Chains A and B, each alone.
Chain A
């Protein structure tokens, strides 16, 4: 009770700054949650400039495409696999076939075709690509004629293998880099606000320890302060002021991680600053 009253007394001294310090991290975390969208956009433009190794292939039907996608995902060296959106199948396949100078495909067959774009996780040599290609060919054969569509046999049309020095993991690194930069900037903003509150708290705690028979006031106040922060955050979530996804680890864990990093770094920083004030 004493510590709550103490914090309330400190809050009354500079209420605005306290509110900013308590609420800002949650708002910042909400902003962080929007970063994947930004990251994806930047990632796409980055990929457009520096493409990864990939290959396009066109499957004769959706069933084959799904089967191959499942099998290919289990292979080593494979990054992500993009399946062309249903709405874009016609245009994409037309473009691919046009690139391959194939004009003799029947329009009904064309509508059934599904395009796959397979990205390679690492640099893949021509030989390795041929092995993958052969494996997929055998898999296509293994599906058997009994399940084949009536119009014709199942087949794959391969596009050219595009080789690049850059691996797909660069995109992931980019995600982290963007998170890192944004986190650093937001952390700095928060820290600047926190420092003035901290200054008041440290001074008052020091005086409490000097003029009352109490020990280890600082860690206790910090613990209550962080608990209060989490409580206020959860209230904000309940009132839908900030995203409720924050509570679920199934959403990106990075905002949570960075929030904890906020608290941890700041606690460490303030402990370090408090050290000279400690009694001998």
Chain B
């Protein structure tokens, strides 16, 4: 089991961090949002996760990698509160921590429009009126390239558009932490890169912490930030991408 190495790696790689819009020392100053302490989870006799220790800080962008069956989805579900770990503790670093998730199966309502799906995220604690929500929604729709499809039904969209809608829905309520389970699996590299850039923008400007699970090696290679690698339920690497 390898402990979280974000602090150890930070000093050595601050120049790279600055390149991606993060000031030196920003990560160290960010408070801990969520801490997993010796978390394990098993499905019957199968151990999906074993003794995971992990800290997620404010404004942190974490890439989660690992082969199929390594425990990525389980870890994401535990972070998002979807699953309760069979062993270990989860400590919330702040009150009213709000976590949203981009599910692997997206969980969009197929027979209704994109707009109605996105309205699910009209959180009154964030938006004072429907108008305010719609303004943000339209702006985000244009950024994601979904604006023209607002009135189309989900079941008429291609996989890539569906994924964008799911990501938008997760971003709209202004979460503290966004957990995304392979959100670009239906996208080509260029589209995935664009989406990644948008999320990086939200991460840096809107201080949304993001945990992104991906198989996309090219994307991971371009990534600079914290990276976690899982193998057979064990956290085998944790630290800055360049360091790893």
Contacts and interface: CB of A to CB of B under 8 A. Distances in A.
Interface of A: 2, 9, 13, 200, 203-204, 206-208, 210-214, 279-280
A211 B84 contact: no
24 contacts: A2-B124, A9-B116, A203-B107, A203-B109, A206-B107, A207-B109, A210-B100, A211-B120, A211-B121, A211-B123, A211-B169, A211-B170, A211-B172, A211-B173, A212-B120, A212-B122, A213-B96, A213-B123, A213-B125, A213-B173, A214-B123, A280-B78, A280-B81, A280-B82
Nearest to A208: B120
A219 B62 CA distance: 36
B124 A211 contact: no
Contacts of B82: 279-280
A227 to B, nearest CB: 22
A212 B81 contact: no
Interface string B179-193: 000000000000000
Interface string B196-214: 0000000000000000000
B112 interface: yes
Nearest to B84: A280
A166 to B, nearest CB: 55
B111 interface: yes
Main secondary structure of the interface of B (DSSP, over half): loop
A144 B98 CA distance: 90
B40 to A, nearest CB: 14
Contacts of B100: 210-211
Interface of B: 78, 81-84, 96, 98, 100-101, 107, 109, 111-112, 116, 119-125, 169-170, 172-173
Nearest to A203: B109
Contacts of A210: 100-101
A208 B121 CA distance: 7
Contacts of B122: 212
Nearest to B78: A280
Given A211-B170, A211-B173, A280-B84, A204 B101 contact: no
A13 B173 contact: no
A280 B96 CA distance: 15
Contacts of B119: 9
Contacts of A206: 107
Contacts of A9: 116, 119
Given A204-B109, A204-B120, A213 B98 contact: yes
A214 B96 CA distance: 11
A14 to B, nearest CB: 8
Contacts of B125: 212-213
A88 B111 CA distance: 66
Nearest to A13: B112
Given A211-B100, A213-B123, A280 B83 contact: yes
A9 B122 CA distance: 13
Nearest to A9: B116
Contacts of B116: 9
A214 B126 CA distance: 12
Query: Which are the 7 A-B pairs with shortest beta-carbon distances?
Result: A280-B84, A211-B121, A212-B123, A207-B120, A279-B81, A213-B125, A211-B173
A216 to B, nearest CB: 15
Contacts of A203: 107, 109
A13 to B, nearest CB: 6
Contacts of B81: 279-280
Contacts of A208: 120
